Amino acid sequence: MTPHAPQPVRRLRTAEPEPYDFRRPLTLAREHARHLEMAFQRVARQFATQLTARLRVISQVTFEDLELRTYDEYTGGLPTPTAMVLCTLEPSRQTAVLQIPVGAALVWIDYLFGGDGRGDEREGRELTEMEWTLVRELLQHAVSDLEYSFAGITSLSATVRSVQYNPQFVQVVAAQETVLVAVFLLRVGEREDRISFMVPSDLLLGALRSSEGADARSDEERRAAEAAHDDLERAVQDVPVDVAVQFQPVTVHPRDVVNLAVGDVLPLSHPSTQPLDVVVDGIVLARAAAGSHGSRLACQVVTVEEIPA
């Protein structure tokens, strides 16, 4: 009696697939990520040293994560209120954001005045002018170390400029512009907080790209990369997409939608002589005239639109 052949083991799906926009890739190259993580680890060490020396309490800053996001995604994930400290970067004159919970800053102030770090946890609390002056001086010493931390990447210095408390009202770059967001775990005495540092991605990634020399990969590595690129290109060509042919949309009132009944007529604003839109994922790719192909409805493409980059 022959034993049964082993059944193939299926790998269970652990997560739902996430959409990926090839027009806006938000992935760091491994080599770039390594250089940036080392720089932000130096930032964490220098910041911890500054806090320990000036607050006279043991402070630790641990680098946790580095991501590429859009600025809109970054601000959308921040609590309200929170202290968004705006810093001017030199020599580019761009703006970086150091985000700190207001409660953490108030604990620093308590330590600066010789207190035991109780702070103030009242909801909606903002820094007074005097408190902001103390925090700004403390942070200015901390951001002055950016020049040392990023010396291996680019020339970078920062000046603390102002503070805002509502992330939705702070627009330092365009909403869809990509930014680098470094997240740190901050421990001052017994208190733990997470803080973040946002910098426009083109500032650091541009410096990293310009400093790259000749391709140091071996012939075998280059061939493997080319083969992977070819495989990806072929696979993308076979991905099924939904194509829709549609009239111009018409605007109606909610009461018209709620009261729709069989036999009602919705007038369309689309002229009978105007082609229909050929749409993929909300993007108009072409214009087409309605017609038929045998016994089926069809459309004939009459113009092709330029695909947005």
Cβ contacts of residue 200 below 8 Å, gap of 6+? 94, 95, 96, 173, 177, 179, 180
- Clarify whether residues 196 and 250 are in a common domain: no
Where in the sequence is the domain holding 291, given as residue range(s)? Answer: 243-255+267-304
pLDDT of the chain, 309 residues: tens digit per residue? 555 555 555 555 556 766 655 555 567 788 888 999 999 999 999 999 999 999 999 999 999 999 999 999 999 999 989 999 999 999 999 999 999 999 999 999 999 998 888 888 788 889 999 999 999 999 999 899 898 999 888 898 999 999 999 998 899 998 889 999 999 999 999 899 999 999 999 899 888 888 765 455 677 878 888 888 888 888 888 888 888 888 888 888 888 888 888 888 888 888 878 888 888 888 888 888 888 888 888 888 888 887 655
Residue 91 lies in a domain: yes
The one-letter code for the residue type at 35 is H
Cβ contacts of residue 302 below 8 Å, gap of 6+? 275, 286, 287, 288, 289
Residue 75 CA to residue 173 CA, distance in Å, equals 11
Residue 7 lies in a domain: no
Residue 169 lies in a domain: yes
- Clarify whether residues 59 and 122 are in a common domain: yes
* Contact of 68 with 27, CB cutoff 8 Å: yes
Residue 6 CA to residue 10 CA, distance in Å, equals 12
Neighbours of 167 (CB within 10 A): 19
User: How do residues 40-95 score in pLDDT, each as one tens digit?
Assistant: 999 999 999 999 999 999 999 999 999 999 999 999 999 989 999 999 999 999 99
71-to-25, 199, 291 alpha-carbon distances in Å: 14, 10, 45
Residue 198 CA to residue 97 CA, distance in Å, equals 5
- Clarify whether residues 58 and 192 are in a common domain: yes
Residue 199 lies in a domain: yes
- Clarify whether residues 62 and 196 are in a common domain: yes
- Clarify whether residues 57 and 123 are in a common domain: yes
- Clarify whether residues 204 and 294 are in a common domain: no
Residue 290 CA to residue 287 CA, distance in Å, equals 10
Residue 42 lies in a domain: yes
Residue 221 lies in a domain: no
- Clarify whether residues 49 and 169 are in a common domain: yes
- Clarify whether residues 140 and 284 are in a common domain: no
- Clarify whether residues 272 and 168 are in a common domain: no
Q: Beginning with the edge strand found earlier in the chain, give each strand of the sheet holding 178-188 in spatial order.
A: 59-70, 178-188, 191-200, 95-100, 83-90, 157-164
DSSP annotation of 37 = H
Cα 290 → chain centroid:
42
* Contact of 183 with 196, CB cutoff 8 Å: yes
pLDDT at 284: 85
Instruction: Supply 38's token pair.
Output: 């080392």
- Clarify whether residues 112 and 191 are in a common domain: yes
- Clarify whether residues 130 and 278 are in a common domain: no
Number of domains in the chain: 2
Q: Which residues of 248-263 are buried (b: 16+ CB within 10 A; e: fewer)?
A: eeeeeeeeeeeeeeee
* Contact of 51 with 140, CB cutoff 8 Å: no
Residue 15 lies in a domain: no
Residue 90 lies in a domain: yes
- Clarify whether residues 285 and 190 are in a common domain: no
CATH number, residue 116? 3.40.1550.10
Residue 123 CA to residue 102 CA, distance in Å, equals 10
